[in-house]
Structure 1
Amino acid sequence: MILPIVAYGAPVLREVSQDITPEYPDLQKLIDNMWETMYASNGVGLAAPQVNKPIRLFVVDSEQIINNLEEDETNAYPGDHGIKQVFINAKIVDTEGDEWAYQEGCLSIPKIREDVSRPEKVKIRYMDENFKQHERTFHGITARVIFHEYDHIEGKLFIDYLKPLKKRLLKGKLDDISKGKIKVDYKMTFPR
C-alpha cells in the first residue's frame, strides 16, 4: 500500500526516532509499504518519520542510481555497486574521508534541491528486517543516501546543512510546502 509522505513542517520530521523490537506491530507490512511508497514517489531512500512513524527504520535503494549513471559518470563512484537494504535501529559508528558536495533532494521537501557536503564514508551499525545485527562501511553515493535517511531518524533535514542566507532565500518555498501550496505526483500529507 502506498503511504502518504509527510511534508516539511510536520513535527514528526523533527523528532529523534525510537528504537524498535521485533514485536513492533505489523513491521514487515510497514517495510513492504515503505518500499512501495518509495518507488511510487521515485525515491532512492525513505525513512519511517516520512510516513509519520517516529521509529528508527529506513530503506535505501542506491542500486537505482548506480544502474542509471550516464556513460560519462560510470567512474564517479568506484567500488560502489549500490545496495537495496533495510536499516533498523541504526547508529553511525564512524565517518571518514573528505567531504564532497552533492545536490540532494527530499520527498518531504519536494521541488527543492541543494548542494550538501558530507563525508565520503560512513560506518554504521544496524539490524536488518530479520533483526540480524550488521556493522558495515559504505562509501560513495550509497553513503550519501544513508547519511540523508539517517538524518531523518535523528530529526534532521538536508536543509539544516545550508548556509543561513540560502535558508532565508528558500523560506517562501518551504512555507508553501508546509501549507500544502505545492503540487506533487505522489501522496502527501501536510501539517495542519
Structure 2
Amino acid sequence: MAIRQILEVPDPRLKVVSEPVTAFDDELRALVTDMFETMYDAPGIGLAAIQVGVPKRVLVIDLQPDDPDAEPVPCNHDGHHHHHQPTKKEPRVFVNPEILDPADELATYQEGCLSVPEIYADVDRPARCRVRWQDLDGAVHEEVMEGLMATCIQHEMDHLEGVLFIDHLSRLKRQMALKKLDKLRKVA
C-alpha cells in the first residue's frame, strides 16, 4: 500500500490514451489499493490510473456522501467548535468502463480535478448515462448513473482518453484557468 504521486498539468502523460486491462491479477489489485489511498489522501472523489502515471483503463470513485445515521463529529481545526458530518465510504472500482446511450439532457456541475489543483469550473455533461464496466475479477456490470455519479464517471473516463475537464472549456476560460494555476504555484 502506498500513496502515489498525482501527475499535474502540464504533464504530457495526462494526454495519453490509456490501454485496456487484460490481466485481472494482484498487480491490478495493488494498483487499485494505491489509487484509493492516494485519492482519499488528496482528498478527492475520483481518480483515474493515468493520474498516478499508469496508462490503464482503471477508475476509482467514492462520492463519500454525508452519513445521515452517524453522529456529527466535533472538529476544532480553527479553534471554533463546530460539527462535521461524517462521510460514508462507498468505494467503487471501474475497469475498462464504457458509456452506453448518454442522455440528451445535460447537467452542469462545478468540477475540479486533482491533476488541475485548486481550479474549478462549470462543465455540461449528459445528466444520465448507462455504464458498462468490469470489476477486479473481470466480471461485467452495467448500471444507469445519474446526478453527481454520472458527472464523476464521465470526468474520470475522459482521463482515459487523455482529456481533462478544462479541455471542455472555451479557449479563453481554459487559458484563464491555467494562468490562475501558475499564479497559485508561484505563491506556494
The unaligned stretches of length 5 or more in structure 2 are 69-87
The offset of 1:174, in angstroms, is: 4.4
On the 8 A contact 2:24/2:138 being kept in 1, the answer is no
Distance 1:2 1:131 in 2: 25
C-alpha contact 1:126 1:133 (8 A) present in aligned 2: yes
So what's the TM-score if we normalise by structure 2? Answer: 0.81
Aligned to 1:48: 49
Paired position in structure 2 for 1:128: 135
Shift of 1:169: 1.8
Conserved in 2, the CA contact under 8 Å of 1:90 and 1:124? Answer: yes
Deviations 1:157-186 (A, max 9, x none): 000111122122223234568xx6474xxx
Task: Give the whole-Å Cα distance in 1 for the aligned partners of 2:54 and 2:25.
Answer: 12
Q: In the TM superposition, what are the counterparts of 1:1-192 in structure 2 within 5 Å?
A: 1-22=2-23, 26-62=27-63, 64=64, 66-67=65-66, 84-175=91-182, 181=186, 183=188
Q: Find the aligned partners of 1:182 and 1:125 in 2 and give their Cα distance.
A: 43
Cα displacement string for residues 6-26 of structure 1 (whole angstroms, at most 9, x for unaligned residues): 011112211111001125661
CA gap 1:155/1:176 in 2 versus in 1, 3 angstroms: farther
* SS of match in other structure, 2:99: strand
> TM-score scaled by structure 1?
0.80
In 2, the alpha carbon distance for the partners of 1:86 and 1:130 equals 11
Residues 86-135 of structure 1, C-alpha deviation per residue, up to 9 Å, x if partnerless? 01111112201421211100000001000001111111111011111112
Unaligned ranges ≥5, structure 1: 70-80, 184-192
Say whether the 8 Å CA contact 1:58–1:150 is kept in structure 2: yes
RCO higher in structure (CA 8 A, sep ≥6): 1
Identical aligned residues as a percent: 40
CA RMSD of aligned residues (A): 2.3
Greater Rg over alpha carbons, structure: 2
| Count of residues in correspondence between the two structures | 168
**Which amino acid in 1 is paired with 2:45?**
V
The DSSP-based 3-state class of the residue aligned with 1:5 is coil
* Mapped contact 2:118–2:181 kept (Cα < 8 A): no
